[in-house]
Every structure is written in C-alpha cells, then in structure tokens.
Amino acid sequence: MNVLLDYLPEFGRGVLTTIELTVLSFAGAMLIALVVVSCRVSPVKPLRAFAIAYVEVFQNIPLLLWLILIIFALPEIAINFDLFACAVLALSLYSAAYYAEALRSGINSVAKGQAEAARALGLGFLRTQTSVVLPQALRSVLQPLCNITIGLLMNTAITAGTGIPELTAAANAVNVITSDPLPVYIGAGIVYGLLALLISLVTSRLEKKLVIHR
C-alpha cells in the first residue's frame, strides 16, 4: 500500500493518460463506426462490400499489429504523428469494427416499417438513417456498446509497449524501481476495475433516460 502512496503522482498521470486514450478513441471509433454502418445498410453494393471488408479486416488482425503498422507505416508515406496520436488512431480504427457490428444489430432491430414510413414522408436515405433509424438503434444496443467500450479501456494497456505513459506503463515503471509487483499491479487492476464500473454506471443511467416505453 505504501508503494502506491509513494508513487501516487506517477499512477495519477498514468490514469489520466488512460482516460484520455479511452475517451478520444471512443469518439474516433464511434465516428468511423457510424460511417461504416451507414455503408453496410446502404443500397449501394460497393459501399456494402467496403463495410463488410472493413469489419472483417479489423476484427481478424490483432490490435497490437495495427498499432505497430501505424507507428512504422505512416512515416513511410510522409505522415508523422506522435505516439499518442498513433495509439488513438489504432484504437479507433480497431474498435470501430466492433461498434459498427453492434450498431448494425441495433438497426436490424428497428422495424422496417419505420424506414419505409420515413421515406414515404419524403426523407432521403441519410436523413432516414440519422433521424429515424439510428436514434432507435442506439437505444437498443447501449449495453453491447458499453461492453465494447470497456474492452477499449482494457485495450489501452497494449499501448504501454510503445512507451505511452498510461496506467500499465506507470505500473511497470514503478515496479522496476521498487521490485514490489504485487501491490503495484493489484493497485493498477483495481483502478481499471473502477474505470470499467464508471462506464457501466454511465450506461445504466443512459438506459434509464432513453428507455423506449412500448
């Protein structure tokens, strides 16, 4: 316990970096996922093919490999991001495939009559999706989105291997100094658990606010 208190500033900076990685990657992943899922339900065949390929490629290649590819490949095409930006990009692209699939299941749960009614009122495809279908789909998949976001939080630990000073990297650094791994990693695990619990609580509040009364 004394180890955690002695190195509280290091752990604090690690927690803040982990939260920044999670929040920024969540925002990026949701934006990408909305584009991908719009392509997936589009009547245009090439767009549907692109969306299917995106999900298959990103779900079947490990996140660590994407992270390494982005860090080393972008400079080759004259795009220079710092490590933090590369990590956010890799986490966003990877997680977007899972968010897109969750959103697609939500869209499939919306009655087809809803979209047909919107089109009958003169709304185009994009307006129908953004104003009628997606809001209802989001409400029905809040819990799966919560689970994916908790997975995203845990995946931020992978970036420790690139030198980003997030929570796991902070725990590694403190352990190297103190050689006292048990309290260090138990403390880090408890913080991850508390952050995951916070995401679950926020989702529960949203579910209660956005519940659909039938």
**DSSP helix/strand/coil, 166:** coil
Per-residue pLDDT band for 206 (boundaries 50, 70, 90) equals: confident
pTM: 0.87
CB 84 within 8 A of CB 164: yes
* Per-residue pLDDT at 97: 97
**What pLDDT is recorded for position 98?**
97
For residue range 114-131, list pLDDT tens digits in order: 777 777 777 777 777 777
Domains and CATH numbers, the chain: 3-210 (1.10.3720.10)
- Average pLDDT of the residues in 190-196: 96
Q: Which two tokens stand for residue 182?
A: 């048990």
The tokens describing 206, both together, are 């949203």
Contact predicate 165/19, CB 8 Å? no
What are 146's two structure tokens?
Answer: 């919560």
pLDDT, tens only, 71-103: 998 888 888 889 999 999 999 999 999 999 999
Query: How does DSSP assign 61-108, residue by residue?
Result: S-HHHHHHHHHHHGGGGT----HHHHHHHHHHHHHHHHHHHHHHHHHH
Q: What is the DSSP letter of 43?
A: S
